[in-house]
Copies of this chain bind each other. A is one copy, B any other.
Amino acid sequence: MSADTPNGADSLLEAALDAGVEVCFANPGTTEMDLVSALDRNTAIRPVLGLFEGVVTGAADGYGRMTGRPALTLLHLGPGLANGIANLHNARRAHSPVVNLVGDHATWHRGADAPLTSDIDAIAGAVGSVVTPASVDDLATVVQSAIATATGPPAGVVTVVVPQDLAWTGTTIAAPPTPVAHRVESIDEVAVSAAIDRLSTSPTTTALIVGGDGLCDAGVRAASRIAAATGAAVWAEMFSSRIERGGGLPTIRAVPYFPEMAIEALGAIEHAVLVGTDAPVSFFGYPDQPSRLLPGGCEVIGVSAGGHPAAAALWEIADRVGAAAFTPIAVERPPRPSGGLSTKTLGAALAATQPEHAVVVNEAATSGNPWLGMSAAAPSHDMLGLTGGAIGQGLPCAVGAAVACPDRPVVALQADGSGLYTLQALWTMARESLDVTVVVCANRAYRILQVELQRSGASLGPASERLMELDQPAIDWVSVGRGFGVPSVSVDTAEALVTELDRAFAEPGPTLIEALL
């Protein structure tokens, strides 16, 4: 194909580039070959290969969280898309912008029910909107519209199904149309006034619960100003897409995970001001516990749903309650720990060594809690959380964050059980020389499930031991990491962990540290 005979795939990529797309996380197959060829010609879009689709979609999520703009994914028909659904589910819950390109059979081949044919729309519909261009000349506008929709606000996941014959057919639509302007959402003035009233008149019974972009640096500062001025309690949503922490920012506690703890924490509230989040609900349903975590009769004032524009709303509220300017809190970085490795010394080691402006992808589950407390005194960093609860998000999300922010160190604080779902991400870290430090919290068990089983009143038996313990055989993460080309070490003392963290942060490229708990 020469430049004077562009096809649908060329048209689509040129339109995407024109709308600001810079990266395509890909795991292509035969029906995507024309898009791959078009990437050969359109060299301004960076192709990044994942060896499994969950890596591809999780990376796009991480990229979207850090840039606010969608990357493309390239996925192979229904089964390839299905492999990526879990991390698209997390992206949907994170209000993260992602545009999937799913190659489909040629339009005239669909009716043949070839082996790979399946219901792409049904699968994609589980995580967002789906659109199939009707003709080759529609590809450019459809992808630009998808990019605008995905960017939001509210941001989200959009899947564009690309029948292969549309991709390979020549088109005169070589120059893309003007990109669609991004929407701007205004702040709900009535809700803001109500919020200000309750915060001012009933501060001891009013809680401010913040989510979405309200947890960026500006949002956290504004929320802290409101708390200081009014005395109201401030909470972060349970699992945040991205929260800025450390560097003198006060800690905003997250709504507790287990409902009995959340209910205890929120039990005295009569007015809840929700900014950029919905009313908190229990992660799971338990016998004798409610779904909704706010007390019955609690007034709910929703200032901004869908995660946006929460920071601006907080700023407005802070100014209007007469809050003083933000003053960073004085913090002292925790000392370097010594002795045996535990979740506590692990957390201390990371909090003591993590570099300025790190991006910490936290999928450490039960092992991450001590770090969460101690890192409040660490230098400024972003934390990306497991918004949708679909595990296997951490390593791929770290890939995407590192592609998005090549000048920032990325830490994947990773539970071992969850990490195994999408460990192929390690290879992409090696191939792309991404500056990711993977800390595997190796407790060799699905610890959270053991906790849940105990909570239910049951005791471990032969089956549950077999289904929750990962130590027969133990996974050798050093061997696995090296197999994927990532320099890897194992540590079993706090001193060794500190040494290896220092080394990892000083050097470019990926490192894996297996921390034996």
Which of A89, A125, A387, A472 has the most CB atoms of chain B within a 10 A radius of its CB? A89
Residues of B within 8 Å of A43, CB to CB, are 462-463
Q: What's the minimum C-beta distance from A327 to chain B, rounded to whole angstroms?
A: 34
Residue of B nearest to A54 (CB): B83
> Which of A262-270, A369-377, A451-459, A494-502 contacts the other chain?
A451-459
Residues of B within 8 Å of A26, CB to CB, are 467
Q: What's the minimum C-beta distance from A499 to chain B, rounded to whole angstroms?
A: 23
Contact with B along A147-188 (1 / 0, CB 8 A): 000000000000000001100100000000000000000000
Check if B480 sits within 8 Å of A33, measured CB to CB.
no
Q: Does A239 contact B (CB under 8 A)?
A: yes
Query: Chain A interface residue count: which class?
Result: 35 or more
Residues of B within 8 Å of A36, CB to CB, are 449, 453, 463-464, 467-468
The listed residue (B389, B430, B475) touching A79 by CB distance below 8 A is B389
Residues of B within 8 Å of A463, CB to CB, are 36, 39-40, 43, 47
Check if B475 sits within 8 Å of A482, measured CB to CB.
no
Q: Does A295 contact B (CB under 8 A)?
A: no
Check if A281 sits within 8 Å of B479, measured CB to CB.
no
Residues of B within 8 Å of A40, CB to CB, are 458, 460-464
Contact with B along A475-511 (1 / 0, CB 8 A): 1111111111100000000000000000000000000
Given contacts A49-B467, A85-B123, A467-B47, contact A458 B78 (CB under 8 A): no
Q: Does A93 contact B (CB under 8 A)?
A: yes
CA distance A10 to B82 in the complex (A): 31
Residues of B within 8 Å of A285, CB to CB, are 105-106, 108-109, 112, 114, 164-165
| Sample of 11 further A-B pairs with CB below 8 A, known A33-B453, A40-B463, A108-B285 | A39-B461, A82-B89, A111-B291, A112-B281, A122-B122, A123-B126, A427-B473, A431-B472, A473-B485, A475-B485, A476-B484
Check if B33 sits within 8 Å of A291, measured CB to CB.
no
Q: Does A98 contact B (CB under 8 A)?
A: no
Check if A115 sits within 8 Å of B389, measured CB to CB.
yes
Q: Does A347 contact B (CB under 8 A)?
A: no
Q: What's the minimum C-beta distance from A34 to chain B, rounded to whole angstroms?
A: 7
Residues of B within 8 Å of A114, CB to CB, are 281-285, 291
Residue of B nearest to A113 (CB): B281
Residues of B within 8 Å of A83, CB to CB, are 54, 83, 85-86, 392, 421
Q: Does A339 contact B (CB under 8 A)?
A: no
Residue of B nearest to A470 (CB): B51
Q: What's the minimum C-beta distance from A46 to chain B, rounded to whole angstroms?
A: 9
Given contacts A85-B82, A126-B78, contact A30 B452 (CB under 8 A): yes
Given contacts A285-B108, A473-B430, contact A79 B116 (CB under 8 A): no
